[in-house]
Structure 1
Amino acid sequence: MDLSIQNTSLVATLTLCGYLISLCAKTPNPNPTKSNVKDRIALVTDTSKPSQFLLLFIFYHCVLILFPNDRTSFCLNADLLNEDLFTWSPTSIAFVVTIFIAAPIRLLAYATLGKNFTFRLNKPKNLVTSGMYAYVQHPSYTTLFLINVASAFFWMRLDGISACYLPSFLVKVKGLNWVAGLAMSVFTTLGLWVRVKDEEGMLKNEFGQYWIEYHRKTKRFIPGIV
């Protein structure tokens, strides 16, 4: 077992990242039991529990970090693991920085919207235009996209922990490492765009001209840009 400062600090940091991600994956308020609002991705979002797979991924990843000399005992293709994912490297640092920036912003969106924030669409009691919402309409969706994509490119790569249970010929295929990340990027983009259109339609019907003016003055995802 390697308890060097580098390894223990990385394990602690990745564990914190996992905790933040799990908070972002849990709805801050109960979803409405009945809602007549159009919500085409309700089945995907109608949950309040973080993925158990995430917890398993984090634990397994940390074990591989702490036991670098014993990986062959519990990893099928230990020799094919990308060390950039199991040490402090530009790859792991980029992942950590993304989570440390995106997750707090999403959690701040939870706090700002208060009871209005549910994973399943429901008519809000009021249109919140203060705080970060004075500059951007959907900060929680922007940060959710970043969290999902960063997690996919870091934890779902074939030369990561997936190499421990996949056939070696798959792990060796060049370019296949990016498939999971790209697939998650496309899936997340499509899902969020559908949600945004449904949510904006609901807000327009509910708040009329007030929402139209707010929508005209602010950007959707990134302040001052888009």
Structure 2
Amino acid sequence: MTLSPEDTMQFLLMLRNKGVADHVLQAMEKVPRDMFVEGHFKAHAMDDMALPIDAGQTISQPSIVAKMTEALDVGPRDKVLEIGTGSGYQAAILSQLARRVYSLERHRQLSIKARKRIEALKLRNVVITTADGSYGMPDQAPFDRIILTAAAEDPPANLLEQLRMGGIMVLPVGQSDAVQSLIKVEKTPDGLNYTELAEVRFVPLVAGVAKTDGV
């Protein structure tokens, strides 16, 4: 299935009507969401809904991706860490706004597919690694921005340590079997500032590399 320009226009109009900022819309326009879903789910690629992907994971609904991207407030000189690559869709959008994006995924099968999509789009500022995202990437720290696409009970302290002063972290927090809150954390000399953005539902943040991938 090939999406038409009309499909894309309707998709962007839907997001605009939800209040998505112009710079985020422009980034999302450059990343065709249908490339990041497979099979009969492609027919719903431009709908505002989460969709299943491999390894029991999901690609988030576009309006949530947009909200998280906007809250992250990424600049062209920023180095971003993403925990939970999934399909690679969020990393691809961030690549349009950031200097470099490092993305960690615990499922090797997802990493491989996401990397192929990133390469197909010729996005050369994205590095995808199969790794335990709960550890972050201390060797590349500090990061200007950190985003988690899996829910933690609290903002992980070790990831906050990898966030530079003045940096921003966006993540869902809460129990995996309940409604979670999407929050923005700003690291300031006076401490951490928290802003609650929306109620969401994400898969839980799980430590370790998935053994089902033969690791």
Normalised TM-score (structure 1): 0.27
Higher helix share: 1
Higher strand share: 2
Normalised TM-score (structure 2): 0.27
Higher relative contact order (CA 8 A, sep 6+): 1
- CA radius of gyration, larger in: 1
